[in-house]
A and B are shown apart, each in its own frame.
Chain A
Amino acid sequence: MEFFVAQILTGLANASSLFLVACGLSLIFGVTRIVNFAHGSLYMLGAYIGLTLMETLPGHVGFWGSILLAGIAVGLIGVVIEMLVLRPVYRAPELFQLVATFGVILVIQDLALMIWGPEDQLGPRAPGLRGVFRIMGEPIPKYDIVLLIITPIIALALWYMMARTRLGVLVRAATQDREMVGALGVNQAWLFTGVFALGSALAGLGGALQLPKGGADLLMDFTILTPVFVVVVIGGMGSLPGAYLAAIIISVLNVFGVTYIPQSTLVLMFLVMIVVLMIRPYGLFGREEVAGEHGQVGEPEEPIKPASRQTRLIVAAGLVLLALLPLIGSNFALVLSTDILIFCLFAASLHFLLGLGGMVSFGHAAYYGGGAYVAALLVTWTNTPMELAFLLAPFGAGLAAIIIGWVCLRLTGVYFAMLTLAFAQLLWSLVWQWQDVTGGDDGLVNIWPSDWLNNNTAFFYFALLFSVGGILVLRHVAHSPFGYALRAARDSQRQAEATGIDTQRVKLLAFTFAGFMGGLAGALFVFSKGSVFPNELEIVRSFDALIVVFLGGVKTLAGGVVGAAFFKGVEDILTRFEYWRLVMGLLIIFVVVVAPEGIVGSLRRAARRIGLGKEQPS
């Protein structure tokens, strides 16, 4: 019994930071509809700023003052981010802002490294709160008790603000209906800025408040991101009570998980999330998203047409040049081009899902990494010949996609995206921890192609064949009846259903097909590198593809491929410099702000403006 109580108290104390960060994220999403991926970075900044302040300000007042000031400082940073990065892109296509926030992550990572250096910093102790209280004989750190008291107070203060103040009324109104706020005569831009600042301040507060239990390090932005997303989704996007309850559920469950099933620690959280979403698709306190809320914001996509003869000739000429590369380029040029080709196929497979299907997947790496692992596992455990393993890999990935898609497609919009993320993370956890089979973090090595392929030139042609072939197939399917049905289901599910199209089946098949193609890219990857590790399944890999698709242009057929080629090339150059993440982050933000239609979309527009290309029929 004593042990039980002590465990619950530990869980509640752990919920503190999680709740603060999560409710900030939830608040921002509720009002602005932005999924702020940079929220973990704001949490990290809160920790570093709090630490710096605590080193200068003495005593009790200094300690608690530092936490408060850290919150305010991060709130101000939030204002800067909102005004410089997000405000220009509120009208951009759906979830485009998300890419901008990813740029912010990169920038903050490098700035933090420049300012605070690479070494982990241990957080200072809260003055007078070293040691433990004995509760029913069990030692509970004093600071845990303080957190236990502070968190509900902050939650109550937030509740009061939401329920009783004008700002609260506006925020609630905006969460329910964005247009209404405009009707109330409120300057929407400032409301958004205010809410973003508040959400950021809460993240900063969370970062500073956890200092006595941990510290500040450069990896904490991504470390907190997944649990925070899980909490927000379980609680219901936009719901503060939901975030509070979910933070407690996750933290307490985790504490018991550590005791009774210590190996489960990574998987447990995602299983809870999947179960909750299966029963309550919009989280504990979330409400159903109104259809179209995340649908096609901004200008509708233009009708697609098969490429003109002129375009075909240009592409064919490009391919011929590419095929001549082994004669004119260096060995390294071949290796780099192979990497780029594989990445292009991966991005194109996501673009199919995202652009044509309107399904935003945050977990597409599950199929890319999945395909790579299927091939690697076959080779490692059954000595399958390379050719067969290569062919089976996309089917393995497609099978995973059928199962995951079947579950995820019960949901739409952001919840769909989050559930795909949860599944990808689940797969990653499985691979990462099931060392006996997957090799865990040590991966699977010595997965080389057969002798006839085992040189850079041969493999380059092999990758060229399958990547370009895959991309052309994807493109062809876009023009086929199935591709049209997919767009129909995206444009108007109601009309599609009312004209006999089984939209769920169409979407599931598209999801599977995209997974299959992602798996093909993964299979190419594993044989080009000779090894595979869990990071091919990580969130970062999913984001890589997501970002290039958005930056290339969601609403254009070529967007995914062009974005992938451009950014993979740029990355190869940039990573040679020390602060390349800063430059990359700024480049992403620059593209988002200057070319909200993506590279291809904006080029097309520019071409029209100077009179090239077909005029848009109007």
Chain B
Amino acid sequence: MQRKTFLKAMIASAAVALTPVLASAQDPIIVGEINHYKRMAAFAGPYKQGIELALEQTNEAGGVMGRPLEFIFRDDQGEPGEAVKIAEELMTRDGAVMLTGTILSNVGLAISSFAGEKGYVYLASEPLADSLVWAAGNKYTFRLRSSTFMQAAMLAEAAAKTDAVRFATIAPNYAYGKDAVAAFKENLLKLKPEAEFVAEQWPALFKIDAGAEVQALERAKPDAIYNVTFGPDLAKFVRDGTDRGLFDGRDVYGLLSGEPEYLDPLGDEAPEGWTVTGFPWYDLTDGPDGEFVAAYQERFDDYPRLGSIVGYMTVQSIVAALEKAGSTETEAIREAFEDLAVDSAMGPITFRSIDNQSTMGAYVGTVALRDGKGVMVDWEYKDGANYLPSDEEVMKLRAAE
């Protein structure tokens, strides 16, 4: 017993020795940011620039609570185990007040589980998995970006307005793809009970056999197709499908396909006529999103991707939470995030206290070609608040808590 007390005393004194004595007014407030800078460089790069822009603006305007805001960016190589280790380092050694970041859902879920267990606030900026705020949700994890469910619901709403009855789906064969198909089905059948699903294709992620998938879809003779593939899979699918006439006379709905990250690599082969969720920065001139686009282009000599605005809004959300909390204590920040209203670059959003999901929306529009590049036309910003399940359903989903 005595030895134990001694040990505890030793540990405590060591901990005191290693933490900065008392934060002075000029010491920066540190936020730990974990991402896949190497593994998903094309996505993480623009996202980081969005953060940097917002940080510069914040600190020029006097920082947060009179202190500068600083992010420490760390690369987790896309490995959940590595991310958890880094999270620990950021919180206990680097003096971060909270955590944010990640694009990949699995890494986000790992950090979320860790944050919930250790009692650290984690703002999941980009990961899409529904379970992050529902089945595996916890009170320390908040999510900014509109989730798989929300974006699928937006496309289902659009699909329900057409005459199409026979639907086919194609999605990468892993958690995200399956969630995206399930959410689309659920929402579509709610709005159009007569809809039927005549084919479901599940190519392995990044190993699509596009010719075979297109043939299989064609064989089912659907009225409409719902696509969840992305990245190199999407490029191959679009090219083979266009060549073989799969999309002729059919409605196609593409989840995320309109985001510059995915649309731009397709160049002049962008699939015209698809209904997609994405980010039409080229048409944003006024309003908060327009201001963001202008500032971003001026600062970086580059155009923003979806990740850029998410990064920007991540900082906006954190700043709002810190200001509301008036403290850098974990519990204060956590409480501040609940029902936090943010005047974000996409307009007003709220972090719902019921499931810690923000009401950030998405832009839905149609793909067209402009100057040899794919763009979204006839788009509309859909408020995420309208595409979330009812409170009762959410309560059921978050039963674990």
A-facing mask of B211-228, CB < 8 A → 1, else 0?
Answer: 111011001000000000
Secondary structure class of chain B's binding surface, majority of residues: helix
Chain B residue nearest in CB terms to A260:
B216
Q: Are B244 and A330 in contact (CB under 8 A)?
A: no
Q: Are B243 and A139 in contact (CB under 8 A)?
A: yes
Instruction: Determine the chain B residues whose CB is within 8 A of the CB of A139 once the complex forms.
Output: 243-245
Instruction: Determine the chain B residues whose CB is within 8 A of the CB of A138 once the complex forms.
Output: 215
Q: Are B81 and A529 in contact (CB under 8 A)?
A: yes
- Residue in A223, A443, A457 whose beta carbon sits within 8 Å of that of B207 in the complex: A223
Most buried by B among A218, A332, A336, A448: A332
Q: Are B236 and A525 in contact (CB under 8 A)?
A: no
Instruction: Determine the chain A residues whose CB is within 8 A of the CB of B116 once the complex forms.
Output: 446
A121-B265, A259-B215, A331-B88 known; A217 vs B204 contact (CB < 8 Å)? no
A119-B265, A255-B209, A531-B110 known; A440 vs B174 contact (CB < 8 Å)? yes
A122-B267, A131-B243 known; A529 vs B84 contact (CB < 8 Å)? yes
Most buried by B among A220, A433, A525, A578: A433
Q: Are B232 and A219 in contact (CB under 8 A)?
A: yes
- Residue in A448, A525, A576 whose beta carbon sits within 8 Å of that of B117 in the complex: A448
Query: Which stretch (A9-17, A289-297, A351-359) binds chain B?
Result: A9-17
- Residue in A3, A433, A442 whose beta carbon sits within 8 Å of that of B109 in the complex: A442
- Residue in B82, B216, B265 whose beta carbon sits within 8 Å of that of A122 in the complex: B265
Task: Tell me, in angstroms, the Cα distance from A10 to B15 when the chains sit together.
Answer: 64
Task: Tell me, in angstroms, the Cα distance from A200 to B116 when the chains sit together.
Answer: 49
Q: Are A258 and B114 in contact (CB under 8 A)?
A: no
- Residue in B37, B211, B231, B240 whose beta carbon sits within 8 Å of that of A255 in the complex: B211
Q: Are A258 and B109 in contact (CB under 8 A)?
A: no
CB distance from A248 to the nearest CB of B (A): 14
Range of interface residues on chain B?
35 or more
Q: Are A575 and B93 in contact (CB under 8 A)?
A: no
A14-B211, A259-B212, A531-B84 known; A219 vs B175 contact (CB < 8 Å)? no
Q: Are A122 and B269 in contact (CB under 8 A)?
A: yes
A165 within 8 A of partner (CB):
no
CB distance from A290 to the nearest CB of B (A): 35
Q: Are A443 and B80 in contact (CB under 8 A)?
A: yes
CB distance from A535 to the nearest CB of B (A): 6
A328-B14, A335-B88, A336-B85 known; A132 vs B244 contact (CB < 8 Å)? yes
Q: Are A332 and B117 in contact (CB under 8 A)?
A: no
B328 within 8 A of partner (CB):
no
Chain B residue nearest in CB terms to A447:
B113
A65 within 8 A of partner (CB):
no
Q: Are B113 and A446 in contact (CB under 8 A)?
A: yes
Query: Which stretch (B38-46, B359-367, B387-395) binds chain A?
Result: B38-46
Chain A residue nearest in CB terms to B43:
A118
CB distance from A433 to the nearest CB of B (A): 5
Task: Tell me, in angstroms, the Cα distance from A163 to B2 when the chains sit together.
Answer: 83
Q: Are A215 and B232 in contact (CB under 8 A)?
A: yes
CB distance from A447 to the nearest CB of B (A): 8
B-facing mask of A430-451, CB < 8 A → 1, else 0?
Answer: 0011010001111101111000
A339 within 8 A of partner (CB):
yes
CB distance from A583 to the nearest CB of B (A): 12
Instruction: Determine the chain A residues whose CB is within 8 A of the CB of B105 once the complex forms.
Output: 441-442
Chain A residue nearest in CB terms to B138:
A446
A213-B236, A220-B232 known; A266 vs B173 contact (CB < 8 Å)? yes
Q: Are B175 and A441 in contact (CB under 8 A)?
A: yes
Q: Which of A217-262 contact B (CB under 8 A)?
A: 217-220, 223, 227, 254-255, 258-259, 262
Task: Tell me, in angstroms, the Cα distance from A376 to B204 when the chains sit together.
Answer: 25
B75 within 8 A of partner (CB):
yes
Chain B residue nearest in CB terms to A449:
B117
Instruction: Determine the chain A residues whose CB is within 8 A of the CB of B136 once the complex forms.
Output: 442, 445-446
Q: Are A215 and B175 in contact (CB under 8 A)?
A: no
Instruction: Determine the chain B residues whose CB is within 8 A of the CB of A335 once the complex forms.
Output: 85, 88-89
Instruction: Determine the chain B residues whose CB is within 8 A of the CB of A52 once the complex forms.
Output: none
Task: Tell me, in angstroms, the Cα distance from A457 to B15 when the chains sit together.
Answer: 12
CB distance from B370 to the nearest CB of A (A): 17
- Residue in A117, A327, A525 whose beta carbon sits within 8 Å of that of B14 in the complex: A327
B176 within 8 A of partner (CB):
yes
Q: Are B235 and A529 in contact (CB under 8 A)?
A: no
A6 within 8 A of partner (CB):
yes
Q: Are B85 and A339 in contact (CB under 8 A)?
A: yes
Q: Are B213 and A258 in contact (CB under 8 A)?
A: yes
Q: Which of B68-125 contact A (CB under 8 A)?
A: 74-75, 77-82, 84-85, 88-89, 92-93, 105-106, 109-110, 112-114, 116-117
CB distance from B164 to the nearest CB of A (A): 21
A-facing mask of B262-277, CB < 8 A → 1, else 0?
Answer: 0011110100000000
B284 within 8 A of partner (CB):
no
- Residue in A255, A339, A454, A457 whose beta carbon sits within 8 Å of that of B212 in the complex: A255
B131 within 8 A of partner (CB):
yes
Instruction: Determine the chain A residues whose CB is within 8 A of the CB of B191 once the complex forms.
Output: none
- Residue in B37, B38, B173, B209 whose beta carbon sits within 8 Å of that of A254 in the complex: B209
CB distance from A111 to the nearest CB of B (A): 13
Instruction: Determine the chain A residues whose CB is within 8 A of the CB of B174 once the complex forms.
Output: 432-433, 435, 440-441
Most buried by A among B10, B18, B173, B210: B173
CB distance from A89 to the nearest CB of B (A): 27
A214-B235, A217-B231 known; A118 vs B42 contact (CB < 8 Å)? yes
A139-B243, A213-B239, A266-B207 known; A122 vs B266 contact (CB < 8 Å)? yes
Instruction: Determine the chain B residues whose CB is within 8 A of the CB of A255 once the complex forms.
Output: 209, 211-212, 215
Query: Which stretch (B195-203, B309-317, B319-327, B378-386) binds chain A?
Result: B195-203
CB distance from B9 to the nearest CB of A (A): 10
Instruction: Determine the chain B residues whose CB is within 8 A of the CB of A432 once the complex forms.
Output: 173-174
Show 16 A/B contacts (Cβ-Cβ < 8 Å), sorted by A.
A10-B212, A14-B209, A120-B42, A121-B265, A130-B243, A139-B245, A215-B232, A259-B215, A263-B173, A332-B88, A433-B173, A442-B175, A446-B113, A447-B113, A530-B84, A575-B75
Starting from the known contacts A217-B232, A441-B105, 16 additional A-B residue pairs (CB-CB under 8 Å) come to A119-B42, A122-B269, A139-B245, A223-B206, A227-B207, A258-B201, A326-B11, A328-B14, A330-B93, A332-B88, A339-B85, A441-B174, A443-B109, A445-B110, A446-B136, A525-B81
Interface pairs A-B: 10 shortest CB-CB: A118-B41, A440-B175, A445-B113, A10-B211, A258-B212, A331-B92, A255-B212, A118-B42, A442-B175, A441-B175
Residues of B within 8 A of A (CB): 7, 10-11, 14-15, 18, 37-38, 40-42, 45, 74-75, 77-82, 84-85, 88-89, 92-93, 105-106, 109-110, 112-114, 116-117, 129, 131, 136, 173-176, 178, 200-204, 206-207, 209-213, 215-216, 219, 231-232, 235-236, 239-240, 243-245, 264-267, 269
